[in-house]
Amino acid sequence: MIDFKGVFPPVVTPFTVNGAFDTKALKFNLEKYVETDLAGILVSGSFGEGAYLTQAEKVAVMKTARTVIPEDKLMIASTGTETTAGTIELTRIAADLGADSALVITPHFYDGLMDQATLIRHFTAVADASAIPILLYNVPLYTHLNMTVETILSLSSHDNIAGMKESSGDVVKIASILKSAPAFQVLTGSGSAFLGALTIGAIGGIMGIANLAPNEMVQMMNLTARGDIEAAAAIQRSMLAPNKAITTGYGVAGAKAAMDMLGYRGGHVRAPLVDLDSGSKDKLRAILQEADLLI
Amino acid sequence: MIDFKGVFPPVVTPFTVNGAFDTKALKFNLEKYVETDLAGILVSGSFGEGAYLTQAEKVAVMKTARTVIPEDKLMIASTGTETTAGTIELTRIAADLGADSALVITPHFYDGLMDQATLIRHFTAVADASAIPILLYNVPLYTHLNMTVETILSLSSHDNIAGMKESSGDVVKIASILKSAPAFQVLTGSGSAFLGALTIGAIGGIMGIANLAPNEMVQMMNLTARGDIEAAAAIQRSMLAPNKAITTGYGVAGAKAAMDMLGYRGGHVRAPLVDLDSGSKDKLRAILQEADLLI
Amino acid sequence: MIDFKGVFPPVVTPFTVNGAFDTKALKFNLEKYVETDLAGILVSGSFGEGAYLTQAEKVAVMKTARTVIPEDKLMIASTGTETTAGTIELTRIAADLGADSALVITPHFYDGLMDQATLIRHFTAVADASAIPILLYNVPLYTHLNMTVETILSLSSHDNIAGMKESSGDVVKIASILKSAPAFQVLTGSGSAFLGALTIGAIGGIMGIANLAPNEMVQMMNLTARGDIEAAAAIQRSMLAPNKAITTGYGVAGAKAAMDMLGYRGGHVRAPLVDLDSGSKDKLRAILQEADLLI
Amino acid sequence: MIDFKGVFPPVVTPFTVNGAFDTKALKFNLEKYVETDLAGILVSGSFGEGAYLTQAEKVAVMKTARTVIPEDKLMIASTGTETTAGTIELTRIAADLGADSALVITPHFYDGLMDQATLIRHFTAVADASAIPILLYNVPLYTHLNMTVETILSLSSHDNIAGMKESSGDVVKIASILKSAPAFQVLTGSGSAFLGALTIGAIGGIMGIANLAPNEMVQMMNLTARGDIEAAAAIQRSMLAPNKAITTGYGVAGAKAAMDMLGYRGGHVRAPLVDLDSGSKDKLRAILQEADLLI
């Protein structure tokens, strides 16, 4: 079984001013990430505007990424769609293109009908059909669905479900899962609750803030591992404001603008999302400076 | 400007047991609907599992439907996607295929970022580019977004935005819109609040229950128009249980099963949705009988 | 059994500038109301800052009110508290002071524990012990609890539970109740959904807006009764803005300010609520003028 | 300024089978608590059925408690009511009866009107008038209000507001507060998120579970202080199930039943709450055994 321990950025998908996928910019960013101690990369996730990509574009992103990501780092592909058949198909393509694992979001358009039995059926069918290990993706912020601890525990016994990305930010939930399934690999999706997640047993995180601050997030993990909670907490508190700015604040447009400021190539977002105006950029720059990410 | 007065079923998209789009079944249903006093048909909406259809399938549905729907009845196509560019493109295709109007749902994956200015920008861009009139689609049940009265009023002044489908079930909202924009064509999406919507000024409805009970819904509208509220209210109360069964109860799988019972061809749903088991079918049959839809 | 058909204002409790209950102001208002076609009066409800009154003050309010309200108009007293024993006691006092009926809100501090069985036990115990008929009070806005249709139907068969005040604004809920219990007396608590409620079978309303516009609300009811929906709808639309201003807008402080403008004596609110500042009063005055309540 | 570092149980208020306050049972429990390393006691809080107590009963609880609680342990009294004047009055009484501090819940009946300016006004007025330091109490579970970080920071600069009980369970919120106000004394109200709260800087907790497991909660705090996160996490995971059972599971009735099992005197709850039936007691007993609280 793959070891998912570590920090993973859910990389942004850079677009040109005309809205086209900017292959060069993605490569540029990935080349910087692979020189750090990041454990791997997630492509086409919700932070990568995956909901705005066609299937052909997702294929292009995976192909590009795998050329840069070396074998000793993991490439996780986000392959969830609204249908079971569509998810199985995209997961098959991801495996063919060299993804090490597939992250599968809960289908959610008919969220009122996605009862726990339905979710179990869906994930089981996808995991049964997949050539690579599956990670469950629970993200109530976007799906308005919350997989219960019972559902997660039930799925955790599947041979091909390695773990999950838990993005509710609820550390009690992570604790409850690990109490009953200590070997299940839980990665938090919350950059603000990273320390809390680690102390209760999460093995790492797939967090938007790792696009901006990969080294700081890796360091937080190392400090926690050797029991230096105070130093880890200092980094955690320092990351709160930038993390908020690029999630509930400005969203992915904020992340892209921040990356531009920090020497990456964030590029443009797709409409209806909108790039940051200059006033917002000034505020964001001040937040990055206050957090010592920008000098 | 098109007159949208009347009742429209958001038709289900029948699938075969293997999950393929069943062209013949759709034709069969449409041929029955066009012989009633329904004002027209909505294709590929949320009740038509639009979220589960590829773009090629949506094209096939529209082509099939237009061959059956005569010129004196409206074909409305649901063309909203998550991106502005994607919505413009699908709306263009719909117009080319003979749709009279396009129903555009609020983009919602990043619902926390879809502020009212962003929604206005999105709908304005789509309406500017469209060759056919646009209907806004507000459906918090699925989108977890609620367009404000102010946003709707702002968009109501656009020459190419004819009206909206208001599916929150909130009759006060409809009243508030019509107070300021009496010519804006509001169709309710709630079969249970149809009478309430009509009495406050809605001009009709696009309601799942019209797949099952087209004549009853048309009759409710006629009775209300001639002031016979008591008779209209009797139908409304009678439709409550079947309407609930096919929406928040069993969802579209319930609607399809009910259609099979009533002489239509509902067909199968796509996974992760699941067809009704026999116990649920028995309960549904009893509900249809109690409402005098099934003898 | 008492007939609750008609319009009832949930009267405000006027306070002096020092926060004391202003007996004279309450009398002044009641004397005006009893000369209209209002069916009666509700005292100490949520619109009467009942949550801010001590038990002694509630007694004083009831005593004062009964001296003004004639026998041919109903005095309904709000007697619900958090405990079953406390509610029984206050209901006994209300009966002794001449209340015709008691309105009992769902206990709600521990709302997560108030399951439907608990609510049934509570209301049954209160109704069993009460010398006067009970009206259930469902108001999710304040209680964050929503009694289900099943719970209401179960309680509707109690000999001493005459009906309910339904303040969720959900006309479908009213329809569902009356479908199964046509004799249950449902009064809406929503001034904005009054027409919708009436057309589906509600027998009247206990609505904050009746403090300001008693005659308009009575007229809406009369017009609906004789099938003149268009005229009723015109009043309904006209009442939307003032109703919003005194509920979700400015709340009871807005209602009191509006009453002062309209020749009643609204008086002050109690902290932490705060009286309207002059800017807000100007906006409110414009709303009242626009609705033809103020000339 | 008082140092609130440590663990505090929000003690239950035992009632006799007839619903009367059971003074002896409260004394019995307190005498056991004061022999542990608990930092103090909270009386009449939401876990003490404070919402079900009359003012006279709250006075009786405080008088009883102070006779048992020695000077070197803190007695915190919950004194918040719906009105500013009522809260000031009860806080004055608490100070006169020897309370070291007053915990003040956000007023919440009109929660839609309790904007942040109103909350600041309320707490400032109470703190200005109080002879003892105030702790803010943020508990969205019961109040459906969530004080913002900005509001808390604004109030944190008041000389007589020492800290807060933060019961949303959101460790990111605690981190955000302490980032800007490192000296503000934050006590978590969540027994399940205790470890997460401590690692980010909370100085302790006022947690229902401390009624049952005072020594375990103190030990978790000591282990965290000396960097033994794994051992602390083991206790945290072990406390999850009992904590859930006495909060969102069975509520205070569960806590009282558990106390009876563990050698305390929990006593009865007041209606509409209901004592645990024997089936629920069996399940609870198993949970306590699984957590090694009951042998």
CATH number at residue C195: 3.20.20.70
Percent helix / strand / coil, chain A, rounded to 5: 50, 15, 35
Residue A216 DSSP symbol? H
Band (pLDDT 50/70/90 cuts) for residue B128 is: very high
Helical axes D84-96 vs D55-68, angle rounded to 10°: 30
Hey, is B62 helix, strand or coil? helix
Cβ atoms of residues C144 and D85 within 8 Å? no
Domain contains B163: yes
pLDDT confidence of residue B1? 83
Cβ atoms of residues B108 and B145 within 8 Å? yes
Cβ atoms of residues A50 and A42 within 8 Å? no
E strand segments, A47-95: 74-78
Nearest chain D residue to A228 by CA distance is D227
Domain contains B264: no
E strand segments, A27-181: 40-43, 74-78, 101-105, 134-138, 161-166
Separation CA C237–CA D76 (nearest Å): 52
Tally of domains in chain B: 1
Hey, is B103 helix, strand or coil? strand
For residue A143, the one-letter residue type is T
pLDDT confidence of residue C295? 84
> Stretch B41-61: mean pLDDT, rounded?
97
B175 reaches C (C-beta below 8 A):
yes
The tokens of D88 are what? Answer: 């000031």
Hey, is A147 helix, strand or coil? coil
pLDDT confidence of residue A121? 98
Distances, alpha carbon C121 to alpha carbons A41, C116, D270, D271, in Å: 56, 9, 13, 9
Domain contains C49: yes
B172 reaches C (C-beta below 8 A):
yes
Residue C67: partners with Cβ closer than 8 Å, 6 or more residues away: C27
Hey, is A133 helix, strand or coil? coil
pLDDT confidence of residue A1? 83
pLDDT confidence of residue D1? 83
The whole-angstrom distance between residue B204's C-alpha and the CA centroid of its chain comes to 11
Q: What are the residues facing C161 on neighbouring strands?
A: C134
A240 reaches D (C-beta below 8 A):
yes
pLDDT confidence of residue A223? 96
Comparing CB atoms, the residue among A190, A200, A240 nearest residue D233 is: A200
Domain contains A202: yes
Domain contains D237: no
pLDDT digits (tens, 9 = 90+) for D132-162: 999 999 999 999 999 999 999 999 999 999 9
* Local mean pLDDT, 10-residue blocks, chain C (295 residues): 96 96 98 98 97 97 98 98 98 98 98 96 98 98 96 98 96 95 97 96 98 98 94 96 96 98 98 98 97 93
Mutate one of C89, C109, C126 to test the D interface: name it (highest D CB count within 10 A): C109
The tokens of B221 are what? Answer: 């509208």
Instruction: Output phi, psi for D74, to 5 deg.
Output: -85, 140
Mutate one of A46, A53, A113, A252 to test the B interface: name it (highest B CB count within 10 A): A113
Nearest Cα neighbor of B148 from B190, B106, B109 is B106
Chain B, residues 85-114, CB within 8 A of chain A, namely 85, 107, 109-114
C170 reaches B (C-beta below 8 A):
yes
Contact across the interface for A172 and D192, Cβ inside 8 Å: yes
Closest Cα in chain C, distance from residue B200 (Å): 6
Separation CA D286–CA C186 (nearest Å): 46
The torsion angle over the Cα atoms of residues A172, A174, A179 and A183, rounded to 10 degrees, is -170
Secondary structure in 3-state letters for B168-180: CCCHHHHHHHHHH
Nearest chain A residue to B109 by CA distance is A142
Query: What is the C-alpha R_g of chain B?
Result: 18
Cβ atoms of residues A11 and A41 within 8 Å? yes
pLDDT confidence of residue D295? 83
ipTM for the assembly: 0.96
CB-count exposure of residue B50 (10 Å: 0-12, 13-18, 19+): buried
What domain range includes position D66?
6-229
Domain contains D284: no
Nearest chain C residue to D251 by CA distance is C113
Residues, chain D: 295
B125 reaches A (C-beta below 8 A):
yes
Distances, alpha carbon D230 to alpha carbons B151, D196, D215, D291, in Å: 52, 12, 18, 17
The tokens of A78 are what? Answer: 């986000």
Q: What are the residues facing B6 on neighbouring strands?
A: B204
Mean of per-residue pLDDT scores for chain D: 97
Q: Do chains D and C touch (3 or more CB pairs under 8 A)?
A: yes
Cβ atoms of residues C42 and C206 within 8 Å? yes
CB atoms within 10 A of CB C166: 27
Contact across the interface for C233 and B170, Cβ inside 8 Å: no
Closest Cα in chain A, distance from residue D283 (Å): 17
Query: What is the C-alpha R_g of chain A?
Result: 18
Domain contains A263: no
Instruction: Dihedral sign for Cα C212, C215, C216, C221, please.
Output: positive
B165 is catalytic: yes
Q: Which of D58, D165, D173, D256 is catalytic?
A: D165
Comparing CB atoms, the residue among A172, A195, A240 nearest residue D193 is: A172
Residue C113: partners with Cβ closer than 8 Å, 6 or more residues away: D251, D273
For residue B253, the one-letter residue type is A
B199 reaches C (C-beta below 8 A):
yes
What residues of B are in contact with residue A122 (Cβ under 8 Å)?
271-272
Comparing CB atoms, the residue among A52, A114, A270 nearest residue B272 is: A114
Closest Cα in chain C, distance from residue D66 (Å): 27
> Stretch D48-54: mean pLDDT, rounded?
97
Domain contains B143: yes
The angle formed by the CA atoms of residues B178, B182 and B183, to the nearest 5 degrees, is: 125
Cβ atoms of residues D266 and D255 within 8 Å? yes
Cβ atoms of residues B72 and B79 within 8 Å? no
pLDDT digits (tens, 9 = 90+) for A46-99: 999 999 999 999 999 999 999 999 999 999 999 999 999 999 999 999 999 999
Chain B to chain C Cβ contacts (< 8 Å): 77
Contact across the interface for C82 and D52, Cβ inside 8 Å: yes
Closest Cα in chain D, distance from residue A91 (Å): 34
Chains that touch D (3 or more CB pairs under 8 A): A, C
Separation CA D105–CA D114 (nearest Å): 12
